[in-house]
Each structure stands twice: as structure tokens, then as C-alpha cells.
Chain A
Amino acid sequence: MSTGEKKRVINRVKAMYPLRAKVDESYLRSQEAIKAGKPTVWAMLNFCYGDPILKAMDIEVVYPENYGAALAAAGVARGYLDRADAEGFPTHLCGYSRANFGYAARLMELGGEPPPEAPMGGMPKPLFLLSSVAVCDARYKWFQALGRYLDVPVWTLEAPLPGIREFQLEGCYEEMVKLSVSHLRDFVTFVEKAVGRKMDWDRLDEIVNLMMEINRVSHEVNELRKAKPCPMHSRDFWSAMPPALFLLGDLKESLQLYKNLYDEVAERVENGISAIPEEKYRLVFAELPPWHSLDLFDRLAERGWNFVIESFGYHPPPPVDLSHVKDPLERIARYSLQRMVANYRDALQKNVVAGADVYIYLKYVSEWKCDGAFLHPLVSCRSASTHLPHLANILMERLKVPSLIVEGDIVDLRLFNPQDALQRTEPFEEAMEHYRRVRRELGFDW
């Protein structure tokens, strides 16, 4: 569903485009890989945990979650969702997974050939599936359920997630590292057997370092967005994030592209260039955007809404020096755990026991000086939605920042009404103005 108008208002960062293009390239590369007899794997977003291993083993990877978003953005998800319904999957399941079940059913119906209607040439049949228990149940139950269609093995990556208080118990962090390293070592053996080659440990070492450096630069880009006016909109973040998040393509090239992005954004900061014509309100977006209706953000930009920070799960972990850790698997483990662990310590200090995904938005709002939060609970994604009512409460209670809650879905556009969202903007602007005054009275600095 579109908001009806096509006028582009957001001032897109030019250096974002080659990063975004890497997504399309990755699908093409996977198809070429199949033709050349090279392995392709379907993987869940695994937060830099399994990806460097696959990269070091020269395996092309495509991400059905990402492809689900691509199907939605291309407006062709409906047919695959209907197919999943017909296959007997309950309709309240993750929209990405339902689109993927429909796709997999079609793929196998066509003898393993990608369906002709699939955007970007489709995802080729994989050598194996790499799922992850991180973030939600869907992300491993989904790949298990694909066994109905794909006669390929599944590896499920563990991802420890203790409570914030329990994390402080003696030995907890080291047990998390121990689990992760041992698990990754077995995963390497699994991959070696699957592709019939041994791991090149020096290459893995280099890849891990590049991965961390790419993410460090990406982190620095986001730090620049604290500037007023904000030089880079959330839409540019979402477009530019895949090479860092999924380790797409050549990593040295990606590193240069992120450095280019940093330079352009820094230049904008220096010259006071905004991501939208006139920044009246600074907003944070949580969590997953309506991929099928992204032009909504242009309509909001017309009203002066600048989205300055967003989607915690897509952001790189805070940089950490792991140069003393010689084993690349341990470095992967500690780096991957850093996403949660770094925030756990701060969250406990601030007495936010509801998890890193709540604490981090308090940090975003106070450091990026947001006037409001646009919360997007998803009917078919509990993980990206459950914390949002509590987040709205805590943002108001602690920072006097109001939230606009607009329900929707990541894939199923029938569940999202952008017109309704637009109708609610005016009263929300009044709320943002009101609480701006309240904050000043209370001594906040924005």
C-alpha cells in the first residue's frame, strides 16, 4: 500500500547507494555461485556469529528474512503468503517466515529452480540452512519447518541470553563465551563436512578483523547522526546497513564504502546539512519498518519529522578492543555477545531490568535528543513488538518523551494503514511540543 504520492522529500546520502546495491549483488552472486557449482546457504541474521565462518569458507549466503522484506518492498509477497496459508501454517506466524514457506513450496514445485516471478532472480536452493535461536523462536522453528520442502540439513546457532541481573552472577559471562566458542568449533566442523574443504584459519582471522572494523565505522556514522539537524535519515540507515549486518560481498570494499559514507555524513554535519528540508521534530523508530510502505517517511519528512536513530537490532555492537584474543572463534563469540553485554552493564546501572532492547532506546532518545518515538508493533512479530508498550511507558516516565504507536506488519501490507498513521501525526505533534516544554521545565537539555 502506498501513501498515494511519490514526491521524494528525504535528502538521501549519496554514499548509501553503493552499499544498498550490495543486496541485489548478493542474490545475483548466489545464483552465479550455484551455476558454477559453488555452495549457497540460507541463513538467519546471526549478528556476526556464523557469517564470518561462512565467509571464510567461501560460501555465498542469502537471508530469507532479508528476502521477505524484499518481497514486501516489491509488492509480491501476497502470493507466497497465500501459499503458506494453504500449506497449513497458522496465519499469525512471522510474516517473513510465511512468505518464505510459500517461496520454498514454489521452489520445490519447480524442481529447485527459483520461481520466475521472484524479484532479484530469487533465492537458489541452498546447500544447508543456518538458523539461530537469537532474538526469537521463529528464527529456528522456521528453518526446522522448511524440512517439508528442502531436503537439506539445518544447523541451529546457539545464542545465550541471561537476564540483566543474573548476568552479574559469578562466571555467567565466561560460560556464555565457553558455550559460544565450543559451539562455533562444532559448527566449523559441520561446514567443513558440508562443503568438503578445511577452514583457512588465517583467512577467518582476517575476516573477523574486517567485520569488526566495518561495524566500528558504521557505529561512528551513527554517532554523527546526533548532530542537529540530523544529517542522515533512518531510511538511509536501513538502506546502508546490510553489508555490515550480513557481511555482504567483498569486505575490504564494504569497509571503503562505509568510510565514504562516514566522510559524506561528516561533511553534512560540518555544513549543517539536514536529511530533510526542515527538521522540526527528531524521532526514534522502533523496531522493524513497514518495508512495503517506506514512502510514509517522505510524507512525515514533509511535516518536519526527521528519523535520527532506529531499530536497535540492526545496529552494530559498541566497539570493543579484542586484539588480545588470539583465537578467531573466541573473538567472534566475544564480539557477538558484545551487542547485549555492553548494554547489560549500563542497563543495570540505570535500573532498567527489562532488557537491552528497552534500555537502548532510553539511551537513543537521550543522546540523539529525540522529541518522540514512533513505535511499530507487528502483528506477526512478537519479538519486535513485545517490549514496545513498556518502552512507551518508560520513555514517558523517565524522559517525558511521548510515543506514537502504529500497528502494522513487516510483510503483510493488509495489516498496515499508512493513511491512518498520517491522520495521527497532527495530534502527536502537539504532544511532542507539549513534552518539549515539560522537559525544559524539568531541566532536560532538549
Chain B
Amino acid sequence: MAAKGLSRAKEVCSQRPAVAKGATARGKKVIGYPCVYVPLELLAALDIVPYRLYGEMREPVTEADRVLPASFCPIMRSCLDCALKGRHDFLDGVITIHSSDPQEKTARIWQSYTTLPYFHFVDMPGTTRPEAVDYFASQLKGLVTTLESLSGKKLSADNITKAINAYNHQRSLVQSLFQLTRPSPPLLTGTEIVQVIKAVMSLPVDEGNQLLTEVIEEAKARKQKSEAQRARLLLWGSTTDDAEVMAVLESNANVVFLEDCGGYRPYRGKVSTAGDALTALARHYLTEITCARTFIQNVAAPTKKDYHKDLHARYGYLKSVITDWKVDGVVLLLVRYCDPFAFEVPAVKDYFASLGVPATYIEYDYTEGSLAPMRTRVEAFLETIG
């Protein structure tokens, strides 16, 4: 009998390339993307399967050393290392996006050293101003042009609407998934969620939605355990792509909310189906994904600064998470050299302090060797919050 729900998620995670190759064998084009800012709706509408590219924490970086310096985002270094080792050779192409310097810089190196048939870099503005949204939409139009050429199909209004609806359904399902971590103890662990999201990002949208539906049903059917109360943590950071990292954080606590790109962040809100689809996608991706890379402030063109209002504009969405998920403490978990998030650390700590929630900053270098010190840091933090 074929695996379902959480078993299926685990299975997909352990065989991601094989799963994607299955789509290739069925005659589908498969396109890799290393960042969640790539609007997957455009791929799905052209019958292309998106495949999230991750690093491999357990794989020593060897090939990327000859093309990237050591003091660089270790996730993107690892991701490129995998590409240079031929791990992504089954792909029909890669889409990268200017969501951060490492994404942009790696894209250019990636393109220079690999020979995939398709490679597209999408530029992305830094602000959410109206002209920035328009420019981003024009960049998406460029992406459509090259994707149409790759797929040999034309993007129709009907297909893009269907794709937006399918991904909006996926967003709703992930939002429902996170409702299952609200009870105490939670019905799903953070470790399980990392695996489910990783699996979903490796599958065509309908299969991902099927998997999410199964996981939600399975978790809801779980019996509430009566276990000793464990601290409930919010994880804030760039991305978590390895269940082992989450397992370390959860050795003596529950991570009940993952505010990162391996958790809730890519699934916040919904894309509007009214008006021009490219503009709607541009607006959604630019404003709803709460990555530190986008410059956000309390008013678009302020004449004076109010730091606390500014913090609320940047992190206010976390206030209800803290209360609704009954968060006891926050772990700010970043890989070293993640500049957009690293600049946020004192400010986001100020924000959590204003809510009366303790927070700790932990930096790691995306190697297996960093897990032991991480465990020590988490344990020390848990002791301080009782």
C-alpha cells in the first residue's frame, strides 16, 4: 500500500530527486528554484513542475569552494555545490530571483558554471511602493516569455486563474496545518512540519495539496497526549530545511510556529484573483512574504520616525502568533552571513521584548558539526525561561 500522510512526507523528503525524475518521466518539465519568492503559479499554469532546491547540510562543500568565497551564505554555497556536483542535472532548468544578495550573486555563478537548458533570473525591487510592484510585474512578464518558450505553451487567463486558485488552496491548507500546533501539547511537531513543507515543495501543486490534506486528517485523529508541559517556542529566521535542526530545537521543547521559509512564511495570505494576474502575483509576493529582504516601514514616505510604530509595521503580524500559539520564548535562528536577517536581530529582539517574550539569537554554519553547540544554546535558553 502506498504511503500516505506523514509517512508519505518522510518518503518524499528522502527521495526528492527520484520524485522529480518521476515527473520528468511522465513528460513534464521540471524547474528548480532556490527561493520561495519565485511565483510558482506561473509554472503550474504552463504545466511545469516546480522543485524547490535546498542545500545538503551533511554534504561537505567542495566544488563551490572554487567559485564562491567561504564567508558567504552557507545554504546557497551548499545549494550551488550540489548543482556543480551534478545533483540537479535531471532538471530542465532553474529560476533564481533577486530576493537577496546571495541569491543574486549565486545565480550569476550558477549560470556561468552549469549547462542547464533553461536559466532565468528575476529581478525584484527592494520596497513595496506602487512603482516597485509595477516593475516586479514587468519582470514576471519577462519570466512568462521565457517559460512559454521553454514549454511551447501560451499562458492563458483560464490556466493562470486555476493555478492561483490551486496555490491559494495550498496556502489555506498550510494555514490549517499550523492550527494543529496551537493545542498543548501540539498535534504536530515542528520536526514533522519541516518534513511536510519540504515534501510539498518537491511536488506538483495538486499532489502537495493531497499530501497536506492527508497530514491534517492524520494529525487531527491523533489522541491528545498527557505529557509534561514543555516550553512552546517560536522559530524566527530565514529558512529551515533539515528536520535534524528542528529535532535539536525540540529535544526539550515544542516549536509551535516556524516563521521562516521552511515553515509558515511562504503561505501567508492569498493571491487576489481580481484584476491583472501578474500584478496580483507581484503584489502578493512582494508584500505578503515577510522576509527581511523587503524594506518595510510604517508609512510609505514618512516625515518623521517612530521606532515603535516602525517595529509594529515590520513585525506586527507576530503579535497574534505569540498570543494564539501561547509562545513562551523565541529562537532567532540564522545561518551565518545571512545579512538581511542579521541586520534585523536587535530590532526584532526589541519587538519581542515589547511583548514581554524572551528571545535568543543562535547562529550556525549549516554543518552537522554546528548541531551540538546549537543544542547547548537551546538548553541554556530553555533554562532561562523556566
Residues of A within 8 A of B (CB): 87-90, 92-94, 97, 131, 133, 136-138, 140-142, 144-145, 147-148, 150-156, 158-163, 165-166, 169-172, 175-176, 178-179, 182-183, 186, 189-190, 193-194, 352-355, 358, 377-380, 382-383, 385-390, 393-394
B69, B120, B125, B346: the one contacting A89 at CB < 8 Å is B346
Query: In the complex, what's the smallest C-beta–C-beta distance from A379 to chain B, in angstroms?
Result: 5
Asked whether A393 lies within 8 Å of B66 as measured between CB atoms, the reply is yes
Per the bound structure, the CA–CA distance linking A87 and B361 in Å amounts to: 13
Q: List 14 A-B contacts (CB under 8 A).
A: A88-B346, A88-B361, A89-B342, A147-B305, A151-B306, A153-B301, A153-B305, A160-B135, A166-B122, A182-B131, A353-B112, A383-B101, A385-B71, A389-B68
Query: In the complex, what's the smallest C-beta–C-beta distance from B137 to chain A, in angstroms?
Result: 9
Asked whether A386 lies within 8 Å of B68 as measured between CB atoms, the reply is yes
Asked whether B126 lies within 8 Å of A156 as measured between CB atoms, the reply is yes
Nearest A residue to B127, CB-CB? A156
Asked whether B126 lies within 8 Å of A163 as measured between CB atoms, the reply is no
Asked whether A389 lies within 8 Å of B127 as measured between CB atoms, the reply is no
Nearest B residue to A132, CB-CB? B126
Per the bound structure, the CA–CA distance linking A358 and B131 in Å amounts to: 30
A154, A162, A179, A379: the one contacting B71 at CB < 8 Å is A379
B122, B334, B344: the one contacting A141 at CB < 8 Å is B344
Given the contacts A158-B132, A161-B123, A382 and B345 also touching, CB distance less than 8 Å: no
Asked whether B101 lies within 8 Å of A175 as measured between CB atoms, the reply is no
Asked whether B302 lies within 8 Å of A153 as measured between CB atoms, the reply is yes
Segment 108-136 of B: residues with Cβ below 8 Å from A: 108-109, 111-112, 119-123, 125-127, 129, 131-132, 134-135
Query: In the complex, what's the smallest C-beta–C-beta distance from A334 to chain B, in angstroms?
Result: 16
Per the bound structure, the CA–CA distance linking A394 and B108 in Å amounts to: 13
Per the bound structure, the CA–CA distance linking A396 and B293 in Å amounts to: 35
Given the contacts A148-B307, A160-B135, A183-B131, A138 and B123 also touching, CB distance less than 8 Å: no
B108, B111, B306, B363: the one contacting A90 at CB < 8 Å is B363
Chain A positions within 8 Å of B361 at CB level? 88, 90
Segment 60-115 of B: residues with Cβ below 8 Å from A: 66-69, 71-73, 98, 100-102, 104-109, 111-112
A93, A160, A355: the one contacting B123 at CB < 8 Å is A160
B67, B125, B342, B347: the one contacting A158 at CB < 8 Å is B125
User: Quick one: CB contact mask for B289-331 with A, threshold 8 Å, 1 for yes?
Assistant: 0001101010001111111001000000000000000000000
Asked whether B121 lies within 8 Å of A354 as measured between CB atoms, the reply is no
Per the bound structure, the CA–CA distance linking A386 and B119 in Å amounts to: 20
Chain B positions within 8 Å of A89 at CB level? 342-343, 345-346
Given the contacts A137-B100, A137-B340, A163 and B108 also touching, CB distance less than 8 Å: yes
Q: Is B139 at the interface (CB under 8 A from chain A)?
A: yes
Per the bound structure, the CA–CA distance linking A46 and B347 in Å amounts to: 25
Per the bound structure, the CA–CA distance linking A145 and B345 in Å amounts to: 9
B69, B73, B297: the one contacting A377 at CB < 8 Å is B69
Asked whether B293 lies within 8 Å of A137 as measured between CB atoms, the reply is yes
Given the contacts A152-B304, A153-B302, A179-B135, A382 and B339 also touching, CB distance less than 8 Å: yes
Nearest A residue to B125, CB-CB? A158
Q: Is B373 at the interface (CB under 8 A from chain A)?
A: no
Given A182-B134, A183-B132, 8 more A-B residue pairs with CB atoms under 8 Å apart are A89-B342, A89-B345, A145-B344, A148-B307, A163-B120, A166-B139, A382-B73, A385-B71
Nearest B residue to A88, CB-CB? B346
Nearest B residue to A144, CB-CB? B295
Nearest B residue to A194, CB-CB? B303
Asked whether B295 lies within 8 Å of A179 as measured between CB atoms, the reply is no
Per the bound structure, the CA–CA distance linking A170 and B138 in Å amounts to: 10
Q: Is B273 at the interface (CB under 8 A from chain A)?
A: no
Chain A positions within 8 Å of B301 at CB level? 153, 155, 186, 189-190, 193
Interface centre among B123, B125, B132, B339 (most CB of A within 10 A): B339
Q: Is B145 at the interface (CB under 8 A from chain A)?
A: yes
Chain B positions within 8 Å of A88 at CB level? 345-346, 349, 361
Q: Is B352 at the interface (CB under 8 A from chain A)?
A: no
Per the bound structure, the CA–CA distance linking A387 and B69 in Å amounts to: 8
Nearest B residue to A172, CB-CB? B142
Per the bound structure, the CA–CA distance linking A179 and B318 in Å amounts to: 32
Asked whether A386 lies within 8 Å of B101 as measured between CB atoms, the reply is yes
Asked whether B67 lies within 8 Å of A154 as measured between CB atoms, the reply is no
Chain A positions within 8 Å of B111 at CB level? 163, 165, 353-354
Per the bound structure, the CA–CA distance linking A361 and B291 in Å amounts to: 33
Chain B positions within 8 Å of A165 at CB level? 111, 119, 121
Per the bound structure, the CA–CA distance linking A140 and B128 in Å amounts to: 14
Query: In the complex, what's the smallest C-beta–C-beta distance from A417 to chain B, in angstroms?
Result: 16
Asked whether A133 lies within 8 Å of B295 as measured between CB atoms, the reply is yes
Given the contacts A151-B304, A393-B66, A387 and B125 also touching, CB distance less than 8 Å: no
Chain A positions within 8 Å of B108 at CB level? 163, 353-355, 358, 387
Chain A positions within 8 Å of B146 at CB level? 166, 169
Chain B positions within 8 Å of A147 at CB level? 305, 307, 310, 347
Q: Is B268 at the interface (CB under 8 A from chain A)?
A: no
Asked whether B126 lies within 8 Å of A178 as measured between CB atoms, the reply is no
Asked whether B69 lies within 8 Å of A133 as measured between CB atoms, the reply is no
Given the contacts A147-B310, A158-B127, A386 and B69 also touching, CB distance less than 8 Å: yes
Query: In the complex, what's the smallest C-beta–C-beta distance from A93 to chain B, in angstroms?
Result: 6
Chain A positions within 8 Å of B132 at CB level? 158, 179, 183
Chain B positions within 8 Å of A393 at CB level? 66-67
Asked whether B105 lies within 8 Å of A387 as measured between CB atoms, the reply is yes
Chain B positions within 8 Å of A162 at CB level? 121, 123, 139, 142
Query: In the complex, what's the smallest C-beta–C-beta distance from A180 to chain B, in angstroms?
Result: 9
B98, B112, B139, B339: the one contacting A354 at CB < 8 Å is B112
Per the bound structure, the CA–CA distance linking A145 and B343 in Å amounts to: 6
Asked whether B303 lies within 8 Å of A186 as measured between CB atoms, the reply is no
Given the contacts A145-B344, A175-B138, A389-B69, A166 and B120 also touching, CB distance less than 8 Å: yes
B69, B142, B293: the one contacting A166 at CB < 8 Å is B142
Q: Is B337 at the interface (CB under 8 A from chain A)?
A: yes
Chain A positions within 8 Å of B295 at CB level? 131, 133, 140-141, 144, 156
Asked whether B363 lies within 8 Å of A154 as measured between CB atoms, the reply is no
Chain B positions within 8 Å of A186 at CB level? 129, 131, 301
Asked whether B305 lies within 8 Å of A152 as measured between CB atoms, the reply is yes
User: Quick one: CB contact mask for B201-223 with A, threshold 8 Å, 1 for yes?
Assistant: 00000000000000000000000
Asked whether A389 lies within 8 Å of B126 as measured between CB atoms, the reply is no
Per the bound structure, the CA–CA distance linking A151 and B293 in Å amounts to: 22
Asked whether B123 lies within 8 Å of A166 as measured between CB atoms, the reply is yes
Q: Is B350 at the interface (CB under 8 A from chain A)?
A: yes
Asked whether B142 lies within 8 Å of A169 as measured between CB atoms, the reply is yes
Q: Is B336 at the interface (CB under 8 A from chain A)?
A: yes
Per the bound structure, the CA–CA distance linking A178 and B141 in Å amounts to: 15
Per the bound structure, the CA–CA distance linking A165 and B107 in Å amounts to: 12
Chain B positions within 8 Å of A156 at CB level? 126-127, 295
Per the bound structure, the CA–CA distance linking A175 and B278 in Å amounts to: 15
Asked whether A171 lies within 8 Å of B138 as measured between CB atoms, the reply is yes
Chain A positions within 8 Å of B306 at CB level? 151
Asked whether B303 lies within 8 Å of A151 as measured between CB atoms, the reply is no
Nearest B residue to A89, CB-CB? B346
Nearest A residue to B297, CB-CB? A154
